[in-house]
A and B are shown apart, each in its own frame.
Chain A
Amino acid sequence: MMTPRNGGGSPAVEWTLTLPGQRVHLGTQRPLTLDCGVALSDFPVAYQMYGRMNPSRSNVILVCHALTGDQFVAETHPITGKPGWWAALVGSGLPLDTDRYCILCINVLGGCMGSAGPSEINPDTGEPWGLGFPVITIADMVRAQAMVLDHLGIEQLFAVIGGSMGGMQVLEWASLYPHRVFAAVPIAATAQHSAQNIAFHEVGRQAIMADPDWCGGDYWRYDKNPHRGLAVARMAAHITYLSEHKLTEKFGRQLQERSAVTYGFDADFQVESYLRYQGISFVERFDANSYLYITRAMDYFDMAARHGGVLANAFVDTRVRFCVISFTSDWLYPTVESRRIVKALNAVAADVSFAEIASNNGHDAFLLEEPEFRRVLSGFLDAAAAHRGLPPVRGS
């Protein structure tokens, strides 16, 4: 399915030649008009599917990935060789049971795993888009995903599920296409990026742009890669995904393979070494410009603003069944943000469940093995599936 393309020094361009999964070119007949006003035509979108669609195509769960996630939800990652980012939840016999549901995950617009983004080729120039790629929003990502559903002949999703930025897409799905969503599960999410959220992202973007190898966004042209800047961006962001409790428990003030501090700037502490590793391993799979675009999309996210300042207006008369989930130690998108969403949904008398899961794992809890989270998610999905008339797995 992958179409070979020419040129460019960015690793992302070469990766996409050999990625597993499917890729479709959208907007060939009617372009996608982005929030910024640009009309995007003939653009690729990459996706991956697990499990089988039933004949009526009513058992599809769309999993929306987070900022640095991708469509490889439940398989060994083709680049890093690590397990899929949600392998703990997606698979046979797991809450997102591939024997029952068809799990679809689409690389977001602006991403770097095969969907249109700054590292992909601009058909008009034959070169990577770079900073010429239009600035996209969460709603644009969702509109592009809806075009993939049209392509696959899926009228209504059984559920849309996602954590973090994935949760923002879930909210946008329920708002933009309420009739195409039966159930929606925004996890560890927010309906509006806060000043603090924007501030952390700006640190990351500045780190990338301050790297001389960024070359004003044209690094592919000079066969360079601003990996130092991107690594710093990742390090800063990674801290926000953890909790202080978890960092203390995991590292404390323990030293890295030494018995005393060295009175220098080497990674004396384990936590430094850990963060450096997180930064370095990130750059081998992620495109720096993509990081700029996607963090920008998140910063622009403010659902209430588009609805007269009233979040509830985004969900008027909704028939979607919601399950909002937050984690106690998540300080990036804390429970109060989920509560705001629940409040808005209550204001329109929506069918909503809301559970706060006790966890020390911070924002990253949604990616980890959290038994209570798993129980809540399974219970909600089972009940929703019964309402939707989806048969249980045979033999269970």
Chain B
Amino acid sequence: MTSALPPALRGDLQLIADMIQPNTRVLDVGCGDGTLLAHLVRHKQVNGRGIEISTAGVNACVSAGLSVIQGNAETDLFDYPDAAFDYVVLSQTLQAVHQPKVILQQLLRIGRRAVVSLPNFAHWRLRWYLLVRGRMPKTKVLDHEWYDTPNIHLCSIQDFVILCRDLGIVIERSVCLDRKGTRYRIGRSMTVANLLGEQAVFLLRR
């Protein structure tokens, strides 16, 4: 394969890629057109697999030589054996599944680690939008109308951290991105991250 310059990844995808060690087994759940997976295979030499719900996405991936299956995260994760992967990636999808808790547990059953990215519903702009306009917030990251959004389980960074604690999941790393794509570590000052982070990426283990 010849590629002069590594193509620029979307901010949150680059964050995810940075959390993944080279030469590992990676499953990208909801891999879309395979942008992240192709990046990981090419630049981190991972043994990469993907699941994607859209036929167009799957066919693009397989045509590009990626090992991707057409499937649904909500039903197909159960097929995989325990600890089949070093990392299972779930990017901007947890808020759109019916059972986020079950899916999260599945990620950490089939993967030794999980990398999860999600939009933060407690971002100040969303709070402001709701407070001032009195309508369901819409932003660049969350750009659907309330009646046709696939995002049925939105949460805040703080909500997600609490869920992990309740499930006994260890958060090894957590980073949030503000509107300009600047990274912030989510440390003790959860309140600040929860206010300023537009999206967050977590590296999790059991």
Contacts and interface: CB of A to CB of B under 8 A. Distances in A.
Interface of A: 321, 323-324, 339, 342-343, 346-349, 351-358, 372, 375-376, 378-380, 382-384, 386
A386 B65 contact: yes
Given A321-B67, A351-B49, A356-B58, 13 more contacts: A339-B71, A342-B69, A347-B81, A349-B81, A352-B49, A353-B68, A354-B69, A354-B70, A354-B71, A382-B65, A383-B65, A383-B66, A384-B65
Nearest to B77: A346
A349 B55 contact: no
Interface in B37-85: 47, 49, 55, 58-59, 61-71, 76, 79-81, 84-85
A356 B63 contact: no
B41 to A, nearest CB: 9
Contact of A375 (B59, B66, B69, B71): B59
B107 to A, nearest CB: 15
Interface band, chain B: 20 to 34
B79 A372 contact: no
Contacts of A351: 47, 49, 67
A343 B79 contact: yes
Residue among A346, A352, A357, A383 with the highest chain B CB neighbour number at 10 A: A346
Nearest to B80: A346
A356 B62 contact: no
A386 B64 CA distance: 12
B8 interface: no
B24 to A, nearest CB: 14
Contact of B67 (A352, A372, A378, A386): A352
Contacts of A339: 71
19 contacts: A346-B79, A347-B80, A347-B81, A348-B81, A349-B81, A352-B67, A353-B66, A353-B69, A354-B68, A354-B70, A355-B55, A355-B62, A356-B70, A378-B63, A379-B63, A379-B64, A382-B65, A383-B65, A384-B65
A358 B63 contact: no
A379 B76 contact: no
B1 interface: yes
A372 B61 CA distance: 12
A355 B64 contact: no
B62 A379 contact: yes
Nearest to B50: A353
Residue among A339, A353, A382 with the highest chain B CB neighbour number at 10 A: A353
Nearest to A375: B63
A339 B51 CA distance: 13
A323 B65 CA distance: 10
Contacts of B49: 351-352
A280 B185 CA distance: 74
Q: Which are the 7 A-B pairs with shortest beta-carbon distances? A: A383-B65, A379-B63, A354-B69, A349-B84, A346-B79, A375-B63, A353-B62
Contacts of A348: 81
B180 to A, nearest CB: 37
A294 to B, nearest CB: 31
Contacts of A383: 64-66
Interface in B95-126: none
A382 B59 CA distance: 14
B59 A376 contact: yes
A321 B47 CA distance: 12
